[in-house]
């Protein structure tokens, strides 16, 4: 692995995903778990499978080599949002420790999949530390932004620093607001999606002022998500390549603003696989290498 892992916007070369069929499994499984996992609504299995197939095809059509996390009885529906259980670095994967109790078995399940592919492990976050992948974003090859949230705590951030400092990476902390409280899915990447070295999609009302100012100081142009497109995941944008953006259908203002900034925007239907579970395209993917 190389520093090409240290990017949110280089062209995706290899990526892990967890298919809806392997995460949602069947109607009975969904019925048993969706309320306790705080989904906004009960996913419809047939629609979810169709949405996911279309989503997967977009990744393949853009040249990504796709690897799959298998169905695993130790994990739950949320394992579809596979970004959260690990972080890719130039020296291997960092295995996270989840802040959401219902997801505590996901990191170990992912570690087994990485081992099977011969992907090295740099280290693991251990209790009392928690880190979720949705709280981290590469600003450049040597700078990782980390949200201090209900899912990622100070002990976890300290462990991240200890793992990354020896490989020349600086960790910047963004102290995130309470918003809807501990039960809500509110990550750093809920309000930030870098889509090029100097372009980021942001939802400014929930951004820490110091962190937003830091982005501007570092030369980022900010594509602002309007209030009415925050809950519909307008801020959750996956860069397939620099300024080639994948987002959930239903965010026309953000889409137009991205296009005005010179981006190509691809949309997918995500009512079942994204909106109901609070996980957009960045959450649905664990990129390993970009170019």
Residue 183's pLDDT is what?
85
Tell me the per-residue pLDDT of 209-264, one tens digit each, with 9 for 90 and over.
Answer: 999 999 999 999 999 999 999 999 999 999 999 999 999 999 999 999 999 999 99
What's the length of the chain?
Answer: 291
pLDDT reading at 88 higher than 70: yes
In angstroms, the Cα distances linking 17 to 69, 150, 198, 242 are: 6, 25, 27, 21
Mean pLDDT for 102-122 is 97
164 pLDDT band, cuts 50/70/90, is very high
**Using CA atoms, how far apart are residues 59 and 236, in angstroms rounded to an integer?**
16
pLDDT for res 184: 86
Longest CA span, the chain: 50
What tokens does 140 get?
Answer: 């450049």
Give me the CATH number covering residue 17. 3.75.10.10
139 contacts 172 by C-beta, under 8 angstroms: yes
Can you tell me the distance from the alpha carbon of 71 to that of 76, in angstroms, rounded to the nearest whole number? 9
Instruction: State how beta strands 86-89 and 65-68 pair.
Output: unpaired
Domain that holds residue 209: 3-290
Q: What angle do CA 231, 235, 241 make, to 5 degrees?
A: 145
Question: How high does pLDDT run on average in the chain?
Answer: 97
Rounded to whole angstroms, the Cα distance separating 188 from 1 reads 25
The predicted structure's pLDDT at residue 1: 67
Residue 3 has pLDDT above 80, yes or no: no
Residue 14 has pLDDT above 90, yes or no: yes
Does the pTM surpass 0.75? The reply is: yes
pLDDT tens per residue, range 48-71: 999 999 999 999 999 999 999 999
DSSP codes joined into one string, 245-283: EEEESS-HHHHHHHHHTT-EEEEE--IIIIITTT--TTT
**In the predicted model, is pLDDT for residue 94 greater than 70?**
yes
What is the reported pLDDT for 2? 66
Structural domains in the chain (count):
1
Residues 282 and 59: beta-carbon distance below 8 Å: no
- Percent of the chain past pLDDT 70, that is, above it, reads 99
pLDDT in tens, 138-158: 999 999 999 999 999 999 999
Spell out the long-range contacts of 116-120 with Cβ–Cβ below 8 A and sequence spacing 24 or more: 117/67, 119/1, 119/92, 119/93, 119/288, 120/1, 120/91, 120/92, 120/93
């Amino acid at each position: 692995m190389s520093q090409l892992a240290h990017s949110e916007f280089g062209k995706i070369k290899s990526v892990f995903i967890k298919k809806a069929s392997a995460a949602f499994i069947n109607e009975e499984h969904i019925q048993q778990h969706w309320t306790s996992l705080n989904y906004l609504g009960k996913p419809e299995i047939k629609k979810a499978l169709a949405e996911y197939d279309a989503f997967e095809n977009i990744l393949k059509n853009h040249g990504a080599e796709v690897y799959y996390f298998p169905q695993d009885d130790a994990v739950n529906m949320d394992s579809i949002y596979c970004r959260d259980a690990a972080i890719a670095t130039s020296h291997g994967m960092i295995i996270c420790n989840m802040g959401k109790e219902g997801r505590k078995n996901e990191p170990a399940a992912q570690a087994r999949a990485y081992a099977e592919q011969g992907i090295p492990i740099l280290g693991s976050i251990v209790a009392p530390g928690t880190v979720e992948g949705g709280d981290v974003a590469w600003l450049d090859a040597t700078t990782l932004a980390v949200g201090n949230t209900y899912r990622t705590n100070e002990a976890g951030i300290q462990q991240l620093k200890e793992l990354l400092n020896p490989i020349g990476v600086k960790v910047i902390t963004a102290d995130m607001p309470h918003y809807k409280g501990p039960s809500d899915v509110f990550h750093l990447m809920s309000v930030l999606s870098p889509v090029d070295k100097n372009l980021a999609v942001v939802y400014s009302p929930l951004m820490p002022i110091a962190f937003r100012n830091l982005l501007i100081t570092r030369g980022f142009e900010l594509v602002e998500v309007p209030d009415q497109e925050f809950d519909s995941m307008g801020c959750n944008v996956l860069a397939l390549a620099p300024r080639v953006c994948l987002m959930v259908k239903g965010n026309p203002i953000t889409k137009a603003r991205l296009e005005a900034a010179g981006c190509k925007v691809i949309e997918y239907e995500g009512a079942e696989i994204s909106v109901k579970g609070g996980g957009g395209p960045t959450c649905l993917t664990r990129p390993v290498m970009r170019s």
